[in-house]
Amino acid sequence: MPPVRRSLVRVLPLLLSALLAGCGAPAPRDGAERDIREAVAAWSRTPPERLAGIPLEGWAYEVSEVRRDGAGATVRAELHYRLAGYDPAAAGSAREVRLTRDGGRWHVTGDRAAPGALPQLWDQGPVAVVRGAHALVLGVGQETGTLSAIAAEADRAVPAASAGWPGPWAGRAVVLVPGSLERMAELLGRPAAEYRGMGAVTTGRVGEAPAPADRVVVNPQGWAELSAAGRGVILTHEVTHVATRAATTATTPLWLSEGFADWAAYRSTPATPEQAAPTLARAVRRGEVPGELPRTEDFAFGGDPEALARAYEGAWLACRLIAGRWGEAALVDLYGRAGREPWPVAVRGALGADPDALTKDWREALRAELR
C-alpha cells in the first residue's frame, strides 16, 4: 500500500458432542474424558503470564473434541475472547490443547493454534502492551519506544480517519506489531513475500454484522523504511479500513475501498498527484493511460510491484476526483451506496452520472494532472 483489530476465565464444554440418529441426546462420556475436560477448565482459569496486561474479557475455551493416546490426550477447542473496549463481538481462534496423565490426574502441558488455524500474537512470545488515547498496541519482540511511537501515530490516524469517514464506527484501533516480516506473515497465513516492502495491512470481515475489531498488523521491516510522513499516511489508510468496515461489502469495488482509504490518508497533507502517484505519472507520460478503473486482480499482492502501485495510485486519484468535483459528502455517499446497491445505481444516485462517464472523467483527469 502506498507510500509505501481479564475477566473471569471459563471453559464452555460442547454440550452436543454428537447427535444420535433421530434425537438430540449427547453421546455418553467416559470418566477419563470428563476428567480431561475438567482439567482444561481448571487450567484455563489462570491465563499464561504472556497474556498479562492484555485487556481480555470473555475468555472461554469451547471444547469440541477429545482424543486420547496412551498417557496423553489432545483437545480441540475454540477460544473466544474480546479485547475490552475494542471488540464489539468475540474473536475466535481454533486451538489444540495437549494434556498428560501424571499421578492419576490430567495436566495441561501445551496450548497452540490448531492445525490449519492462524496463530495468535501471544503464540509468538510475551506481549508488550501500550495504550494510546485511541489505540491499543500489542507487540512481540519490540522495544517499548517503538510501540509507543506507533501508538502515537495511531492516535493521530484515528481522528484523521474519522474526518474522512463521518459514518458511525468505534473510533478506536488495535495495532499488532510482530517481531519480523516472517512473524507477520504467520499471523496472516500468507507468504512473507506478499508483504515485503509494505508498512501495514488490516484484517477483518466486511459487512454490518457484529464482528471483532479489525487488527492493523504492522510489518516492522517495512515500517522502519518509511519516512515520518509515510508512516502517517500508511497508518491512516489502514485505520480508515477499520472505520469503513461496516459499510464495506462484497459489492464494494476494491478500487473504491483502497482509493477511499488513501484519499482519507492524503486528505490533510500537501501531497500533489505527482508526488503521491509517481508510478502512474511515469506511465501516463509514456502515453499509457489506463483504459478502465483498477480491477480487483490489479490489487493482488506478490505480483508486479509497479502494476500494484499504479492500481493504488489510480484508485486514490479517482476518489480525489470525485471529492473535488462532486464534493466529499458525495464520495462518502457513493461509498455507502456501493456496499448495498448495484454499481451503476450507486453512481447515478450519488453523483448523478453513469459509470462510463466517471471512467472518462477519471482518464481525462489523469492526463491533466500527471502530464
Question: HEC profile for 118-176?
Answer: CCCHHHHCCCEEEECCCEEEEECCCCHHHHHHHHHHHHHHHHHHHHHCCCCCCCCEEEE
Distance in angstroms (rounded) separating the CA atoms of residues 43 and 100:
13
* CATH label of the domain that carries residue 68: 3.10.450
* CATH label of the domain that carries residue 244: 3.30.2010.30
Residues 190 and 302 in one domain: no
Which amino acid makes up residue 159?
Answer: P
The verdict on residue 219 lying in a domain is yes
The verdict on residue 2 lying in a domain is no
Residues 165 and 46 in one domain: no
Residues 204 and 284 in one domain: no
Q: Which DSSP state fits 98?
A: E
Residues 202 and 230 in one domain: yes
Give the residue from 208, 233, 248 where a domain finishes.
248
Residues of the chain predicted below pLDDT 70: 1-30, 205-213
Give the residue from 83, 98, 117 where a domain finishes.
117
Distance in angstroms (rounded) separating the CA atoms of residues 89 and 212:
5
Residues 304 and 358 in one domain: yes
Concatenating the DSSP letter of every residue in 259-306 gives HHHHHHHHTTS---HHHH-HHHHHHHHTT---SSSPPGGGG-TTS-HH
Grid cell 477448565 is found at: 41
The verdict on residue 70 lying in a domain is yes
Cα–Cα distance list, 2 to 262, 269, 276, 281, 356 (Å)? 8, 14, 8, 14, 27
**The predicted structure's pLDDT at residue 208:** 56
Nearest to 233 by CA among 257, 204, 268: 268
Give the residue from 66, 83, 117 where a domain finishes.
117
Which amino acid makes up residue 188?
Answer: L
Residues 136 and 111 in one domain: no
Which amino acid makes up residue 358?
Answer: L
Grid cell 498479562 is found at: 52
Residues 236 and 258 in one domain: no
Residues 95 and 123 in one domain: no
Count of domains for the chain: 3
Taking each helix axis from N to C end, the angle separating 343-351 and 355-369, rounded to the nearest 10 degrees, works out to: 70
List Cβ neighbours of 45 (8 Å cut-off, separation of 6 or more): 8, 9, 10
The verdict on residue 5 lying in a domain is no
Nearest to 235 by CA among 135, 124, 127: 135
Q: Residues 272, 313: contact at Cβ < 8 Å?
A: no
Note the pTM of the prediction, 2 decimals: 0.87
**The predicted structure's pLDDT at residue 304:** 85
Print the domain residue range for 273. Answer: 251-371
